[in-house]
Amino acid sequence: MQKSLGSLATYCSIFSFSGESKELDVETLVSKFTIDIIAEAAFGIDSKAFGLNSLFEERSKTLVPPFSGIRMFQFAVTIGVPRLSKYLGIETGFFDPKSDEYFSTLIRDSIKYREPNGVRGNDFLQLILEARDGQLKNEDHSELNEFEKDAILTNVEGKLKFDEDTIIAQLILFFIGGFDSTKTVILFTLYELALNPDVQEKLAREITNVPVDYDGNISYESVNKMEYMDQVICGKYLL
């Protein structure tokens, strides 16, 4: 997260000092930031989303094609009457073929590199590989809230049956589930902050002061200590 925040700050700085009087597309900015965060958290790679011509960013945006009327009809026929769809030659997948192949190859190559070389990443892929091999460690969950505790897998014995295709599916679903939801929450939060400058100032003070106790770093631990941040994201800042 620290790296992604640094890339975001650099991108905004370059834009502000470019000397050009144009508006910054916040949706594009947040999209790049979200892609960069998830790429590191899920795949353990640098998406280069804040650079030029990022292939990861390009494939991320085309992974799930827009639902046009024709595409919805194709899905309905494929799922409801699979024999008819084959006869008509309108079989379709949920993902864009090129993007699907890109992510599948990316994940396969990462697995092939990690396992023989003993490389361990700090990401979702590594957690799945450890779960598959029965190597997940029991951690202290005393500081988690009830929602977080309910999300933890319990009573899992031995090795889980994760083949390569299942791992790829889990990672792609992780990406899809995290991308739009995270981007939308950030965009709406920025919009509300723009409408409420007093809330924006109070939140900025908290973000500035809390990391002092964590060597000045914005980390998972320091963000968890930001109580007002939680209120803002949950829409409780006016209560």
Q: Which of 224, 103, 236 is nearest to 164 (CA)?
A: 103
pLDDT band, residue 191 (cuts 50/70/90):
very high
pLDDT of residue 30: 94
pLDDT for 14-34, tens place per residue? 777 666 667 788 999 999 999
To 5 degrees, how large is the angle CA 92–CA 94–CA 97?
75
Average pLDDT, the chain: 81
Class of 2-195 in CATH: mainly alpha
Which of 61, 93, 45 is CA-nearest to residue 180? 61
What single letter denotes the amino acid at residue 146? Answer: E
The amino acid at residue 1 is: M
Q: How confident is the model at residue 77 (pLDDT cuts 50, 70, 90)?
A: confident
Least confident of 32-46, 86-100, 176-190, 194-208: 86-100
Against a cut of 0.85, is the pTM above it? Answer: no
Domain ranges across the chain: 2-195, 196-239
The pLDDT score that the predictor gives to residue 150 is 54
Identify which has the larger pLDDT, 161 or 233.
233
d(Cα 74, Cα 201) in Å, to the nearest integer?
Answer: 50
The CA-CA-CA angle for residues 161, 166, 169, to 5°, reads 155
Summarize pLDDT for 107-121 with one digit per residue, the tens: 999 999 998 888 888
Determine the residue type at 33: F
